[in-house]
Structure 1
Amino acid sequence: MRIEDYALIGDGRSAALVALDGSIDWLCWPDFDSPPCFAALVGTPENGRFRIAPREPDARATRRYLPGTAVLETTFETASGCAVVIDWMSWAAADPCLIRSVRGERGTVEFDVDLGVRFDYGHALPWCRRLGRRWRMMTGGDAMWLDADVHLDVRDDRLGGTHRIAAGERADFCISYARSFDRPPSVPDAYASLRDTQAFWRVWSKCNAAQGPYRDAIERALITVKLLSSVRTGGIIAAPTSSLPERFGGVRNWDYRFCWLRDASFTLRALVRCGYREEAARWRDWLVRAIADHPAQLQVLYAADGGRRADEWTAAHLAGYEGARPVRFGNAAAEQLQLDVYGEVLAALYQARRHGLPPDDDAWTLERRLLDHLATIWREPDEGIWEVRSGRYPFTSSKVMVWAAVESAYRSARAFGHHAPLDEWRRWADTVRADVLARGYHPKLGRFVDRYDGDGLDISLLLIPLTGMLDAADPRVAATVAAIEHELLEDGLPFRYRPPRFRDGCEGTEGAFVAAGFWLAQVYRMQGRDADAHALFERLLGLRNDVGLLSEEYDVKARRMCGNFPFTLAQVGLVNAALALQGDGRDDVDIG
């Protein structure tokens, strides 16, 4: 299956990818960052999957999300009939629960069922045992329970069978998770679960305050962000997957099942501007808890529950998506110094105040601590927003975001009466800005450069106008945008940079970075280039799959999605760019 052939379902604790052919090839239970029990996505069917598909090989499949929901409906047409499979994860269930409901629409359709559970990263073979009307698949501390309306047999540590469904008939398959030493999960009521799950999503979607021609695209993007948000903690993960390659057959395969501080301001702004103040406040609260670390120990990413451990390792037993290896779990970027995260977090907290979110009593104290530490390290080189693995450099965008951190704190103190050394912070912000304009700008080239005193280029230089450090119409910004168009655009889509010239420490190349396309569309809008902004935005909308999801990157030659999927920063970028194109542009700047 291509990456774009997958759709997402979830319950605010974890998420699953459902393929167009009826196979669930990825599921981590019970949490987003738990070991996958279905890992066929980055391996083979032997690494775990749950497939319900017509036996007829020429069956035609179409699908959609039920309007305003995260409930997936796949319709299978065969020579003998038509049936639908409805997939969802129950939002209100006490135990993690995924339900697949097969319904006959016309004639008869024969379905093959294959449930292969492989706990421990697609590796551990479970003991399958029938207990009354239920099946239990258990290994070590993990257990999955299946409640099904049809007869299944154990075949080589898998459950399987064939079932014929006629018009008007229905068969439900409910899998639930519990620790093997805990009580069994309750038997799900599929009918009530579907009713309640649809009701939840439709009420939630009606809260969307966005209007205009892009409202539907915004709604689907926001539902996706909600699916990637922890119902317990408010943390929002970057993607539900690990090691989907940035280049097919390549080694740029990373685990994105964590919350990045980098995404803070972009995400909060999208939520609050669309009326999702509760989600924005919970994301803000998660950020405040994250920065409660000692400032010297601040990480760039955390688990959704705030956990710090992200030790990176490779799973040699997994073959990789289309052979792209290694398959990694954990992410060593957690240990990097990325100065930009200070700006993104403090800009998000300033936005939260500007938009009137309920105050957090601890936030200002923690912000002061962060700034005190930042004052001692801001001149140091770092690994930067792109998390290079080749060493530390004085990246221009890192210093831009240092300015954003100080400027945000300064404006928070002035606007909301917080105690702060205002004169000192004003001088500091001005010093950082002057430093960027002196060392991040190349007079002979007439544009900004990727790192101080260099001559390279990367797409994060768009943060200069997006933060408001310089006006988008400034000639230096205009020249930088022109250079980006000349050097970093391919088939109209932007790349982050051009390896190996950028020297990021990784082999090979990568795809176009979808989120940056939305940043560029916003900058076009800020420059008054409305036709260019709309053309690029429509081009990016065209990259979505048939159910409105976006991946991290796009392979312009193969014309396929690549990278982890779906990618929160791309979905958030869609929302912010759509609002910018529909509005007056007054709230396009992170700090202003």
Structure 2
Amino acid sequence: MKKNKHRQSLRPIGDHGIIGDLRTCALVTSDGAIDFLCWPDLDSPSLFVSLLDDERAGFFSLSPQGDRWRALQSYLPDSNLLQTRWLTEGAIVELTDFMPIREQNDALPCIIRRLRVDQGEASINLKCRVNFDYARNAPSPQVNKTFVVWQGENDDKITLRTSIPLDEKDGFLDSTFTLSAGEEAFFILGGDEVKRWKKQDVVQHQQNTLNWWQQWVDKNKYKGRWHEILIRSALVLKLLSSKSYGSIAAAATFGLPELLGGERNWDYRAAWIRDSSFSCYALIRLGYVDEAAAFGRWVGRCMEASRFDPEKLQVMYRMDCSTELTEEELTHLKGYCESVPVRIGNDAYKQRQLDIYGELLDTLYLATKYGDGIPHRAWEHVIKLVDHVCDIWNTPDAGIWEMRGEAEHFLYSRLMCWVALDRALRLGAKRSLSMPYQRWESARQAIREDIWKNFWNEKQGHFTSTRHGTDLDASMLLMPLLRFVSAKDPDWLATLDAIKTKLVRDGMVRRYIASETPADSLHGEEGYFVACSFWYIECLARADRLDEAREEFEKALKYANHLGLYAEEFDAWGHALGNFPQALSHLALISAAYYLNKKMSGKEQTWQP
């Protein structure tokens, strides 16, 4: 096959940084290419998605010519402004990528790329191809002296403002220019307004954006070990949140595989009740309570749209509370490392997952504990929701991992129904609220008894992932973290050791063994799940196995990418797999580091109602 000269070389999933403006995000490779951007919103169709098809999809690259450059990438301190630097013996080139935080929520996002030669001289090559609608619409660029416009179908339009002349070849921007020490060029991708922006606007936007992020970081109250690592994870969670709506996306991408060449390629550009709730818990621990309040308002709008019927509460929603996430396969894209199908949308939104009630109530309990009380009408909705849990807790579902086989009675789902009742009872008692106490208490006790009777395998000597089952599942690691069982209970420690034997490898933890899990109807095994790895570390710390916990934690930190970012999973060598960066991975890191630090400092927090 003839080589396509207008292509972006495929980079590993972990070989990226992320920038964003609380409306959408873009991935930037370590050598200066933007190869993933959905625009104008995170869940909009893509402009650049060459990470999923390096032959035909769009991208925007800037890099010095020649092959003797060393590329380094880092964030400006306490921010999401990404800096890529190239060094050679006689020159230094610096590229700063960022997205300004717009004051008006409906203002179109823009990406600013500021390129400067600090030493010597460098010839810089720019390549850019814009393809709208997931690379299904490839308009030719309309080149002016100082800007380029792409006009697609359905009113799709985007503008590139530039400080240097650009050349168009066969519908593709491909230009080379030379800069000497002290000279710089800028490039702004956005709406029509960017045509008017000048260098002073770029400088001002950069300073304002840096100030915005650093002021947000300054609100954190965490002063313990691994401070920079936790702050980077918090910055990821904030990037995945919506300034307009208060929702929090599970990840910034779609279609990236959990198994190379496999079919486990999902769209995570949506707000899961579970992931968002856990994200709020992690942020609350660091002192960020506004995000939890914004998420609570978003959930309220989701429930209001369904007339507060708990039966209609979905496991996930679009970022704006929309309910439709119909799954579609993009058959024209060849997929990352030919992993197909490439999917957008996610049919898991139709599933029943009983755990969402517990995650919601746990977040509500913590938000009221560290924030304001709960309004009377909101408590009435809680009563309705918890009464619903009393009715449905003993039914099968798809589970936390969204199995696409037959519904099962999963331990984790049962556990989270117990959490829903437990937190509602504690919240009602703490705030002296009226509630059907006897009914809730009876259900809470019934669930506890059911777990100990039907999810404990006497022969194997450990808990199991399904009722009367034999298999292990790493979601069981949340049992002590959610205060269902003591972290030092002998039966729990036996389960922890069984998980270590079967699911753990060098600090990495599998969710389960797919070939031994009937509810998993997909082909092939997946990688090691990052969040489970950090849950395992926290369990070790809570069990007073501190040396082991710290050793495993340091291993897990080494598997982060060069910027401290994590995807959803690791492969057997610790390389990133799955959608990137993943909120669940980073919130689990925060929780594990937070608790491990407390243990090592002798300041373990006791559970208080």
Preserved CA contact (<8 Å) 1:30 1:177? no
User: Which of 505, 525, 536 is equivalent to 1:509?
Assistant: 525
**Alignment match, 1:499:** 514
Task: Measure, in 1, the Cα distance between the counterparts of 2:173 and 2:204.
Answer: 26
Task: Measure, in 2, the Cα distance between the counterparts of 1:172 and 1:184.
Answer: 12
**Alignment match, 2:588:** 573
Name the amino acid aligned to 1:193. H
Corresponding position: 1:235 with 2:247: yes
Name the amino acid aligned to 2:169. R
Superposition map of 1:157-556 within 5 A:
157-177=171-191, 187=197, 189-292=201-304, 293=306, 294-357=309-372, 359-360=374-375, 362-503=377-518, 504-556=520-572
CA deviation string 1:243-265 (max 9, x = no partner): 11111111111111011111244
CA 264–366 in structure 1, closer or farther in 2 if over 3 Å, else same: farther
**Alignment match, 1:113:** 126
| Range 528-537 or range 24-33, more displaced | 528-537
- Measure how far apart 1:232 and its partner are: 0.7
**Alignment match, 2:8:** none
**Alignment match, 2:74:** 64
**Alignment match, 2:4:** none
Task: Measure, in 2, the Cα distance between the counterparts of 1:493 and 1:127.
Answer: 46
Preserved CA contact (<8 Å) 1:87 1:98? yes
**Alignment match, 2:102:** 92
Task: Measure, in 1, the Cα distance between the counterparts of 2:55 and 2:123.
Answer: 21
* Residue ranges of structure 2 left out of the alignment (5+ in a row): 1-10
Preserved CA contact (<8 Å) 1:264 1:344? no
- Measure how far apart 1:362 and its partner are: 4.4
* Residue ranges of structure 1 left out of the alignment (5+ in a row): none
Task: Measure, in 2, the Cα distance between the counterparts of 1:142 and 1:524.
Answer: 52
Task: Measure, in 1, the Cα distance between the counterparts of 2:12 and 2:560.
Answer: 13
CA deviation string 1:61-104 (max 9, x = no partner): 00110001100111112455221111001113643110101101
CA deviation string 1:458-510 (max 9, x = no partner): 00111221111111111111111010001111233110000111121111111
Name the amino acid aligned to 1:246. E
CA deviation string 1:226-252 (max 9, x = no partner): 111101111110100001111111111
TM-score, structure 2 length as denominator?
0.93
- Measure how far apart 1:9 and its partner are: 0.2
CA 491–533 in structure 1, closer or farther in 2 if over 3 Å, else same: closer
TM-score, structure 1 length as denominator?
0.96
**Alignment match, 1:561:** 576
Name the amino acid aligned to 1:302. Y
Preserved CA contact (<8 Å) 1:68 1:219? yes
Task: Measure, in 1, the Cα distance between the counterparts of 2:547 and 2:594.
Answer: 16
**Alignment match, 1:50:** 60
Name the amino acid aligned to 1:548. G
Task: Measure, in 1, the Cα distance between the counterparts of 2:376 and 2:37.
Answer: 37
CA 587–338 in structure 1, closer or farther in 2 if over 3 Å, else same: farther
Query: Identity of counterpart residues, as a percentage?
Result: 36
Cα RMSD after superposing both structures:
1.7
Task: Measure, in 2, the Cα distance between the counterparts of 1:512 and 1:563.
Answer: 10
**SS of residue paired to 2:361:** helix
Task: Measure, in 2, the Cα distance between the counterparts of 1:159 and 1:448.
Answer: 59
CA deviation string 1:543-574 (max 9, x = no partner): 11111111110012x43111111111111111
- Measure how far apart 1:22 and its partner are: 1.0
Preserved CA contact (<8 Å) 2:264 2:522? yes
**Alignment match, 2:138:** 125
Task: Measure, in 1, the Cα distance between the counterparts of 2:162 and 2:329.
Answer: 35
User: Which of 19, 23, 31 is equivalent to 1:13?
Assistant: 23
Q: How many residue pairs align between the two structures?
A: 586
Task: Measure, in 1, the Cα distance between the counterparts of 2:195 and 2:330.
Answer: 30
**SS of residue paired to 1:159:** strand
